[in-house]
Structure 1
């Protein structure tokens, strides 16, 4: 039939026995010469498997490497009251010598790395932080159903509620930003 088995990248096998003793490439795209002529450089991408013992594969036509993705700020960073002071403090810590343009470029390059780490620490666990706030609010509500709440309980619930709304706005902002990028 003159079909070609395309190369599989990222993975060697598409199926794994649960105990790991057997593996096989059972899924593949087979194409003819007409497809290769029309679509150019086709490749199969082995995607990560989750619960299944099978790996999904994707037929990809564009194997161009456009380099690293550009650095972008997230608007939710500005809503965090600690962000401005964090940037000022980190900027002051960075020390380079040389011409002004070189120093400025190097500071920006290092600040980008620092901000990526900060973003991961502060916003990488938003779902978990939201869950924690919901649990804390529900605990105070459960206390209130069995006895009257103290002043500290009421203040803790108000604080947790305000924090929950802030985290929710940050999550919405991140999701909106990600959807606009694609």
Structure 2
């Protein structure tokens, strides 16, 4: 099992969709649940850009005006969906996990902020989960609620809200999979309020099929919520092949690389007569090798830059969890995020040319 979940705060941005797709591929997620899509154009439209290459299926709960919206996407070769159940604040996909032949339900949740509306949602989910105790239930997403006082920082803990949320979890017999990586999943724009609003809850029989589940948070980059992944395995992927892209023409070093590569001396021997065409062929070969060597260096640097920028943002966010955020750090985070957008925009230009 490997599920990617994120309150994405609007799915319209191309950079954001590309990040989701790459995160899914990198972590080999076979089920993706997004909350707060704020779009009516996901199913049959934007969903293919979210998922990326390969066969997939999707289902949505449309937003109400400019607010809300839920989408779930999955690999039908791994999970065969047979039914979708929709309600205010949730999207349930019921089907068969083909490898184990187990009936499973993935419930993607985007809970309202109002306490009374949350209570109605907990009651609906309670009835849904208790309708079939043989199903392996995985309930995940943005619950807009915390369970304990230590799951908030810089904001007021609501004992009543926590009571009803914990009651729902307890009466349904759900278990929360421990989250690694950080204490909180939500941080406001000023970085002075933190909450653990996103999580994974499972029925006990899920652990019979997947006994080594773990939940990991990804750095918060394109939303005010961290993406969270529940997984039982991880895969690594190899390097990308060499290819010439138009975006290289924007690199100020390219002109010098071409001049140097073209100017390299050719050794044909002292008395050998060489045709002008042979000279051009050998110069082109030298130029190609020169560009390949340059691109190898650039590719290695480009691989490190997004990780370094993301690590900078993650370090600032973790520092903010321990106390008030200094204005200089906040500006540094905003600057770093703009650099990430520039790097991602350049990479997406390459992808458009490749397609």
Same fold (TM over 0.5): no
Report which of the two has the higher share of helix.
1
Give the shorter-chain TM-score range: 0.3 to 0.5
TM-score, normalised to structure 2, is: 0.25
TM-score, normalised to structure 1, is: 0.44
